[in-house]
Amino acid sequence: MENLTPKQIVEKLDKYIIGQDDAKKSVAIALYNRYRRMQVPDKMQQEITPKNLLMIGPTGVGKTEIARRLAKVVKAPFVKVEATKFTEVGYVGRDVESMVRDLMDVAVTMEENEKYEEIRPEVRRKVDKKLVKLLVPGVKKEQKQENGMNDFMSMLSNMSQASNIGDMLNNNNNDTDEDPDENRDVTDDVRDKRLSIKEQLDKGLLEDHEVTITVQESRKVGPMNDQMANMGVDMSGMMDQLMPKKMISRTLPVKEAREVLIQEESAKRVDHDEIYQGAIDRTQNNGIIFIDEFDKITAGDKRNSGEVSREGVQRDILPIVEGSQVNTKYGAVRTDHILFIASGAFADSKPSDLIAELQGRFPIRVELQDLTEDDFIQILTKPDNALTKQYVALTKADGINLVFTKESIEEIAKVAFDLNNTNQNIGARRLSTVLEKILAEILYEGPDMQMGDITITREYVKEQVGKIVSDKDLSRYIL
């Protein structure tokens, strides 16, 4: 985990999220407390548990984005789950422990990617050698000299020389690990061609050239695999050990074939047990689970028999948040130091409607504020991933130089803010709806017309959405 102070974490979040300073400070403190915990004696470390957060606020104000960006900042395993997808044990639906298994899957992928990246230069060199051989399949000198030998007798000879079936199957690729210029077994003509192809490959001139490779067939994941995974059993791994691996041929462009072969070769070289252990440590100490729609599992003021399952889900979540052991296909994972961030609008209920034990496990509560018109202006311009910047980049693909004037951005913000006030408030998500409507004609005609420079003005915005905004019934369905 990158060692960032709370202030530095907030500064990084400010690049993507406008406003909500209290929420950003709270998550930054919770995250930095993890670093503090690692500095105390081992005995005390086990006693210090994370202070889980409960974010309260309407949709579209940045609850999910804060948690997601936080995980990216510190390169922590992160999953977002919806509380409404879970059901009490014994009912049809997802088991609450599946959120920990999902988190573990993310951690394993992160560990694998890091390990693969470490060995990528070495693996790529080997794969490029193999690609050269595949692009210029050679005839060995002795094969050329014995050209008259019967094919059947040749096959028997190869079988007798192979130490096992695997050697026989791989016999055609015995020279793929050698440098094209070092392979003396092939004819001079083939060797010269391979040297030429190697130079072109190094210069990136053959990226779109097609090549046929032999790879292991991916096993299809069926419902049985999911059910066994929920019990912490790696069904796919067991089947791989019991059944022979099936090889298939695929014809791909060189750039795609290279990535497939790099992935396959990297998987052979890394220690998977080490990866799994690293993923378990990362999950237990750095994992973040974001539980959305937390308010939907409260009973509220109106209690009936249908609410039994909601309270049951709360009671099932409780031991996970308190700290328990969850069996995954990679090993047992403790949840004591996983950071849980719950989120909900709590429009029809309140946090006190949660069972008392669960309330106590989310001691930090942050209320996120509705976004203002000024917030919308900043959202459209300030973040590194601002919507206007995204559309400018998209239209550049069609040779269009799109420019938004200051007045047009102010008008877009005003339209979105007014629509949120007159219709259901969906927060910053309204900006995407409005922008898509404003730019619909440009996005449609762009690929077929040489539009060049286009400036979006206040008048153009009014022309595109003015009539819809003024008609409340129409805006309810279109914007």
- Asked if residue 113 is part of any domain, the answer here is no
Query: Residue 167: what pLDDT?
Result: 45
pLDDT at residue 348, rounded to an integer: 85
| Residue 282 to residues 119, 147, 337, 338, Cα–Cα distance (Å) | 21, 59, 10, 10
For residue 400, give both structure tokens.
């269009």
DSSP three-state, residue 292: strand
At which of 238, 271, 304 does a domain end?
271
204: left (phi over 0), alpha (psi -120 to 50) or beta: left
> 185-220, pLDDT tens digit by residue?
678 788 888 899 999 988 888 899 899 998 887 766
Residue 127's alpha-carbon distances to 198, 203, 329, in angstroms, are: 12, 15, 31
What does each of the 479 residues of the chain score in pLDDT, given as a tens digit?
A: 567 899 999 999 999 999 899 999 999 999 899 889 889 988 888 888 889 999 999 888 999 999 889 888 888 999 999 998 886 655 556 789 999 999 999 999 999 999 999 999 999 999 999 999 998 886 655 454 555 445 545 555 555 554 444 444 344 444 444 555 455 567 878 888 889 999 998 888 889 989 999 888 776 655 555 555 555 566 566 656 666 677 888 899 999 999 999 999 999 999 999 999 999 999 999 999 999 999 999 876 555 555 546 788 899 999 999 999 999 999 999 999 999 999 999 988 899 999 999 999 999 999 999 999 999 999 999 998 899 999 999 999 999 999 999 999 999 999 999 999 988 889 999 999 999 999 999 999 988 888 889 999 999 999 999 887 777 766 777 66
- Among 28, 58, 67, 29, smallest CA distance to 369 is for 58
Task: Calculate what percentage of the chain has a pLDDT beyond 90.
Answer: 52
Report the amino acid identity of residue 68.
R
pLDDT digits (tens, 9 = 90+) for 31-45: 899 889 889 988 888
Judge whether 1 lies within some domain: no
Shared domain for 295 and 356, answered yes or no, is yes
Together in a domain, 248 and 316: no
pLDDT tens, position by position, 345-390: 998 889 999 999 999 999 999 999 999 999 999 999 999 889 999 9
Statement to judge: residues 299 and 267 lie in one domain: no
Q: Are 215 and 305 contained in the same domain?
A: no
The reply to whether 410 falls in a domain is: yes
Tell me the C-alpha distance between 71 and 338, whole Å: 12
In a domain, 187, yes or no: yes
**Cα–Cα distance between 65 and 67 in angstroms, integer?**
5
- Angle between helix axes 373-381 and 429-438 (nearest 10 degrees) is 70
Name the domain count of the chain.
Answer: 3
CATH code at 426?
1.10.8.60
In a domain, 326, yes or no: yes
Tell me which of 271, 299, 316 is where a domain ends: 271
Residues 99 and 166 in one domain: no
CA distances from 183 to 122, 145, 167, 195, 446 (A): 19, 17, 20, 11, 53
Q: Which residues pair with 248 in a beta bridge?
A: 215
pLDDT value of residue 162: 46
- Sign of the C-alpha dihedral, residues 430, 433, 435, 438? negative
Whether residues 85 and 192 share a domain: the answer is no
Question: Which tokens hold the place of 436?
Answer: 């898509």
CB contact at 8 A, 4 and 73 = yes
Check whether residue 238 and residue 125 sit in a common domain. yes
Is residue 430 a part of any domain in this protein? yes
- Give the per-residue pLDDT at 114: 94
Q: Does 135 share its domain with 254?
A: yes
Does residue 337 fall inside a structural domain? Answer: yes
Q: Which of 253, 271, 289 is the last residue of a domain?
A: 271
CA-to-CA distance for 374 and 372, rounded, in angstroms? 5
Q: Are residues 128 and 260 in the same domain?
A: yes
Examine the domain organization and report whether 141 and 254 are in the same domain.
yes
pLDDT of residue 242: 65
Confidence (pLDDT) at 467: 80
User: Do 296 and 259 fall into the same domain?
Assistant: no
- Those residues with Cβ within 8 angstroms of residue 326's Cβ, 6 or more apart along the chain or in another chain: 97, 100, 101, 232, 320, 332, 333, 335
Q: Are residues 414 and 458 in the same domain?
A: yes
Range of the domain at 385: 373-478
Residue 221: inside a domain, yes or no? yes
Residue 285: which CATH number? 3.40.50.300
